[in-house]
A and B are shown apart, each in its own frame.
Chain A
Amino acid sequence: MMGKRSLRFILFLGLVVLPLIGSGCAKKAVQGEETAVSPAEVRPADRPGAGLGPGGRPLEETLTAEERKRREAEAAFTNEDIHFDFDKYDLTPTAREILARKAYFLKQYPTVKILIEGHCDERGTAEYNLALGERRANAAKQYLVQLGISEDRISTISYGKERPLDPRHNEEAWAKNRRAHFVIVSR
C-alpha cells in the first residue's frame, strides 16, 4: 500500500504538477499577455460583470493575465476527457493522472462547481449503459473527492450511449466515446 501511494505521489508530481507549473510560466503565454493587454485596459475586467472594455471593445482584449490564465486552465479542464475500457468503470492509471490535474485546477479555483458526464460506446444496451455511464461519472467524482475536492462541488449525470463524441462504428470511435466529460457549471 505504502509503495503504491508513494508511487502515486511521484506520478502526481512528475506528470501533473510539474507540467502545470511549466505551462503556467511558458514564455509565449507571458509575451502574449504583455503585448495584447495594456495596463489601463486591465482594470474594468476585474470587476465582475465587466463584459466590454472602454470603447465597447471585445472582452478578450481586456482580460487580465490572471483571467487569461484561468481561461486556459478552464479550457484544459473541460477539453480533457478520461476514458474507460469496454463495460468497465474502474479508473485507468491515465485517467487517475488526468483526474489529479483536474483536482489541482479545482483547488486553484475553489468556487468552481462542475458536472461530470458519464458516457458509453454504442455497443451495449440503452438502460444498462445509463447505469454504466452513471458508474463512470461517479468513479471520477469519488476519485476527485479522495483528492480533497468537496463532494458538493461535483454533480454527475449519465448519458449512457446517447451522446457519442465520435459517430463512427469502429474501435477507435468506441474508445473515444467511453468517457467521462467534465463541464464547469459555475465559476
Chain B
Amino acid sequence: MGLALILSTGFVAEAQVVVDIFGPAIPRFPICVFPFKAQGSDATQGSQEAMRILTQDLRISGFFEVLDPSKALSDPFRQGFEPKDVDFDAIKLLGADIVVGGKVELEGGGLRWEARLYDLPQRRMVFGKVYRGSANDLALMVHKFVDEIIKYYTGEPGIFQTKIAFISSRSGAKELYVMDADGENPRQLTQDKNLVLSPKWSPDGREIAFISYVGAGAHLFSLELNGMRRRVISARENMNGPGAWSPDGKRICTTLSIQGNPELYLLDTSGNILQRLTQHPGIDVSPSWSPDGRSVAFVSDRAGGPQIFILDVASGQVRRLTFEGRYNTEPAWSPRGDRIAFSALLNGAHKICSIRPDGRDLVQLTDGPGNDNSPSWSPDGRYLAFSSTRAGGSQIFIMLFNGQNPVQITRMPGEQSLPSWSPWMTEK
C-alpha cells in the first residue's frame, strides 16, 4: 500500500494526556466513529469495511468505549471535514471525547481512505491521515490508523500491525495459520495434512518454528515467511519440540528425547545441539525465555504433577515457580519481564493466570465457562492471546494483561489453538 500522508492539522504538540496503562486503572476513552462517506457507490463496501474493522479494533484494544454514532442529532460532517466545517454541536451530547470521521473513494484501481480524529471538548482535529492501497490493504490501513490513535492516547503504539500464528483444524487436519492481531486475514501456511503444533515466532518476525508430523516422526521445522521456504531444525528420534527462540534469535531451546526422556536442549538455529540444559528423569517441556535471555521458564513433573520451573541458563540452577494447584503448564514470559502467564487447572478447567518471576503475586486472569489455554504475550506486554472453549469450540481470544476486556478474534470452523503472538513487524 502507499504511504500514509499526514493531513495538515495546524496542530502543535500541545499538552497531550498520556496515561500509564499499567497503572491501577486502565482508562477507557469514549470514542465515536462516524460512517466513512463513500465517494461513489463502488466505494460503499470499502467504507463499510473500514468502519467495521476500526470499530472492532478500538473495542479489542480495551482503551476505548465505542459509542453509537446514530445518536448524533445530525451528521456532523455534512459540511466537510475541516475543523471549521465540523458541526460539533450536533455531537456534543454523545458523551464522546474523541470523534472519528472521513471518506473512502476509489482511485486508480485502488482505495483512498481519509480518516480524521477530533478532540470533541477542544473542538479541534487531533490528526488526519490519508491511506492509499489496494482493496486488500484496507485492513492494514485501518490497523495503522488505530495504532496511531492508541499511540496518541497511551504513549505507545497499538499492536494491530503485528500478527498471531495459530493452529487450526479448519481444513480437517491441524495446520499452521497466521492472521492479523485482530483476527483479520487468516491465512493457511502449511498443507501437511497430518498434524502441526506449537508455532513460535523468531524474534525478528521472519520465521515461525513449529512441530509437524509430515514425515515419519514429529519433527521441528521452521518456515521463512518471505518466500515460504521450510527447513528442518530437528528431526531426531522421538520428540522434537516445541522450540522457543532466544530473544537474540541465535539459539532455540527445545525438548528432545534422544535418551528416551524429554529434556531441554539448547540448539543453534540450524539445529545443532549446543548444550543439554536439564538432567532429570521427569518431563521437561514448553520453554519460554526471559526477555534478557538469561532464564527459561518451563514445565516439569519433577515435583509430581506438572509445575512451572525457572532455569538459570548459565548455571543450570533450577527453581520451582508455581506451588498452588496441581496442574500448571504453558508458561509465557512477558516481554516486559515482570510477569509469567500460564494456564492452571482450577476446579477441573484450565484458566489463564499470571505470576511474578519471583513467585509472588499470583493472579487469575480468566474466569467463566470452558478451558482457557496457551497464553501468548503481545510484543508490548499489554495483551495476552489465548485459546478458549467458552463459546463452544476452541477459538482464539485476546485480552488485556490484567484479564480485562477478553474479545474473541477467530470465528472459524474446527478448533483454533496454540496462538503465538509475533514480535513487532514494523518500526515502533
Residues of chain A touching chain B, judged by Cβ–Cβ distance below 8 Å, are 87, 124-128, 130-132, 134-135, 138, 141-142, 155-160, 162-163
Inter-chain CA distance A130–B219, complex, in Å, is 12
Task: Kindly list chain B residues whose C-beta atoms are within 8 Å of the C-beta of A158.
Answer: 218, 238-239
The total of interchain contacts (Cβ-Cβ below 8 angstroms) comes to 82
B242 within 8 A of A: yes
Task: Kindly list chain A residues whose C-beta atoms are within 8 Å of the C-beta of B238.
Answer: 134, 138, 156-158
A142:B260 contact, CB within 8 angstroms: yes
B257 within 8 A of A: yes
B260:A124 contact, CB within 8 angstroms: no
Most buried by A among B195, B217, B239: B239
From residue B213, how far is it (CB to closest CB) to chain A in Å? 8
Task: Kindly list chain B residues whose C-beta atoms are within 8 Å of the C-beta of A131.
Answer: 239, 255, 257, 262, 283-285, 299
Inter-chain CA distance A37–B219, complex, in Å, is 46
B286 within 8 A of A: yes
Residues of chain B touching chain A, judged by Cβ–Cβ distance below 8 Å, are 174, 195, 197-198, 211, 213, 217-218, 237-239, 241-242, 255, 257, 260-262, 283-286, 299, 301, 305-306, 327, 329-330, 343, 350, 373-374, 417-418
Knowing A134-B262, A141-B260, A162-B197, the reply to whether A127 touches B285 (Cβ < 8 A) is: yes
B242:A127 contact, CB within 8 angstroms: yes
A125:B374 contact, CB within 8 angstroms: yes
Could you list 25 examples of A-B contacts with CB < 8 Å? A87-B306, A124-B306, A126-B373, A126-B417, A126-B418, A127-B242, A127-B285, A128-B285, A128-B299, A130-B197, A130-B239, A131-B255, A131-B262, A134-B257, A134-B283, A135-B283, A138-B261, A141-B260, A156-B237, A156-B238, A157-B213, A158-B239, A159-B213, A160-B197, A162-B195
Specify the chain B residue showing the minimal Cβ separation from A125. B329
B327:A124 contact, CB within 8 angstroms: yes
Specify the chain B residue showing the minimal Cβ separation from A87. B305
From residue B242, how far is it (CB to closest CB) to chain A in Å? 5
Most buried by A among B237, B285, B330: B285
Task: Kindly list chain A residues whose C-beta atoms are within 8 Å of the C-beta of B217.
Answer: 155, 157
Inter-chain CA distance A142–B260, complex, in Å, is 9
Specify the chain A residue showing the minimal Cβ separation from B417. A126
Chain A to chain B: the 7 pairs with minimum beta-carbon distance, closest first: A131-B285, A131-B283, A131-B262, A125-B329, A127-B286, A128-B329, A134-B239
Task: Kindly list chain B residues whose C-beta atoms are within 8 Å of the C-beta of A135.
Answer: 261-262, 283
B260:A127 contact, CB within 8 angstroms: no
B329:A127 contact, CB within 8 angstroms: yes
From residue B116, how far is it (CB to closest CB) to chain A in Å? 45
A128:B286 contact, CB within 8 angstroms: yes
A126:B197 contact, CB within 8 angstroms: yes
Inter-chain CA distance A144–B183, complex, in Å, is 48
Most buried by B among A132, A162, A163: A162
B285:A162 contact, CB within 8 angstroms: no
Among B218, B237, B350, the residue within 8 A (CB) of A125 is: B350
